[in-house]
Chain A
Amino acid sequence: MSYACAITEDQRDCYQELTNVAMGRAAERLAKLLDTFVRLPVPRVSMIENSDIRMAIQEVGQDSSVSAVCQGFAGSGVVGETLLIFKDTSFANLADMMHYSGPLSRQAELELLMDTASILIGTCIRGIGEQLEIDFNQSHPVILGQHCQTADILRSGNSTWNSTLAIEIHYQLENANVECDLLLLFTEESVNILNKKIDYLLD
């Protein structure tokens, strides 16, 4: 399979390391807020074709219902989007940990989703930006769906991109049934710029 842009093994390792540092910071902040330990796996770095993005997202939900929020970011010509996908079963525990009172309505879940998104997305993007000396601007978050199937998150048709650099981070909280996936997706044009920066770091 050939891509208009590709990443070498070394570059992949470097992306992984950058993400490790950034998501470590994000997890630290989340842990501070929730007063719990956040387990961090190795982030998955890969080039994904347009036709495969659904599969990548579907793996996250694995036929349970999910809620998702996305947020665009841009800086120094690097453009991308973050997707935060929560398993809906996570919210009850999350509400306890964040000391939300009252019944867990859709509205309360939306608050939880937005609060965690601010922390995870914001910190992660800033963390990566700092290491690459890019000042990322974040656009306003958009709700992609609440209590939906992962297949419904991405509407089919009229997508204008061919392939994307995807970095997938699966967050899990220790001793709590809270699971979410953070996907960082960079456009093809951005990958070329990023690769140059990464090569500079590698040298």
Chain B
Amino acid sequence: MSQTHFELNDIHWLMDILQDIDIGLVVLDRKYRVQLWNSFMDSHSGISPQKAKDRDLFDLFPDLPQDWFRQKCSAVYELKISTFTIWEQRPYLFRFPSARPITGRSSFMYQNTHIIPLESANGSVNHICLLIYDATDSAILHTDLKATDKLLRDARKRDLLTGLLNFQTFQAVLQTYIQEVQPGSTSHLIMLDIENFSAYNHSHGFAAGDELLKKIAAFIQASTVPELTARLSGGRFALLMPDRSTSECQSCLDKIRDSLSNSGRQDARLSCGMALLSPEICTASDWLIRAEAYLLGSQKPDDSGE
């Protein structure tokens, strides 16, 4: 007698625990009608167990993708195996508000689910149980981590001051371009240099020099494909111009120079070298050296001319 009493108590405890556990518990029959609905489901959905009882799950949650869910459940019924879904597949099964609406940084609850077959006494499976886990924290952390990872990767590729590609990355971009470009395309590499940049730094201060670099970088980015522009070193920049004729490159350059002089920095001038990609150019260095030669050549007559 006392033994039975103890077991009954056990069941009571168990029922209390199942009610209060911080995991959603739902039992469904073969027609997807709710047979059990614990207080986690009650609290987060606002649907009481009395209201949920015997209701079609798809009527209660019209957003639940029926075909997808039936397919997952059929594996549980037919193969008698548990199946799992994770938030990466589908953020949630049931749209519940986040359990931490203020600091949680998500408006809804990410969910992992575990669907298990419930065998009846004769060994057949006529019911399944859904376990719903709140996965919001790990989902948000995962998303944060990915964003940080991207940020770090990106930062390694870029010049910190201007946000343009740095020399190493640009060199790799050029190399790939040379290897993959269709023969016979007219592509140019433009190299720009702020004339007497060290003098500018001396007379205006380094902070003003940095400001000038940022301004020019912005003008360069606005004039062409931003992902093909780089700050190589000091006051030197480069632009890869795929399939652009000499005159198209010239007008791009004019745009940059106009923006610069319109910005009220008449004392800063850009000299330029432009090299067409030719069959003799096999490596990124070849191309850069050629553009640099044109750049240095352009500086002398300019300097003496004015």
B81 lies within 8 A of A122 (CB) = yes
Tally of contact residues, B, Cβ under 8 A: 14
Tell me whether A147 is interfacial, beta carbon within 8 Å: no
Which one of A107, A122, A142, A143 contacts B82 once the chains associate, using CB atoms below 8 Å?
A122
Q: Mark B90-117, 1 if CB is under 8 A from A, else 0.
A: 0000000000000000000000101000
Tell me whether B69 is interfacial, beta carbon within 8 Å: no
B112 cross-chain contacts in A, Cβ below 8 A: 140
Question: How many interface residues does chain A have, given as a range?
Answer: 20 to 34
Which one of A33, A71, A111, A119 contacts B89 once the chains associate, using CB atoms below 8 Å?
A111
Q: Mark A123-163, 1 if CB is under 8 A from B, else 0.
A: 10010000000000010111100000000000000000000
Tell me whether A10 is interfacial, beta carbon within 8 Å: no
Tell me whether A29 is interfacial, beta carbon within 8 Å: yes
Tell me whether B83 is interfacial, beta carbon within 8 Å: yes
A33 lies within 8 A of B85 (CB) = no
B83 cross-chain contacts in A, Cβ below 8 A: 115, 118, 122
Tell me whether A32 is interfacial, beta carbon within 8 Å: yes
Q: Mark A16-35, 1 if CB is under 8 A from B, else 0.
A: 00000000000001001100
Give the docked Cα–Cα distance between A141 and B112 (Å): 9
Tell me whether A57 is interfacial, beta carbon within 8 Å: no
A141 cross-chain contacts in B, Cβ below 8 A: 84, 86
Tell me whether A79 is interfacial, beta carbon within 8 Å: no
Tell me whether A6 is interfacial, beta carbon within 8 Å: no
- Scoring B72, B79, B82, B83 by chain A CB atoms within 10 A of each residue's CB, the highest score goes to B79
Name the distance in Å between B299's Cβ and chain A's nearest Cβ: 47
Give the docked Cα–Cα distance between A198 and B74 (Å): 35
Give A contacts to B, CB under 8 Å: 29, 32-33, 71, 107, 110-111, 114-115, 117-119, 122-123, 126, 138, 140-143
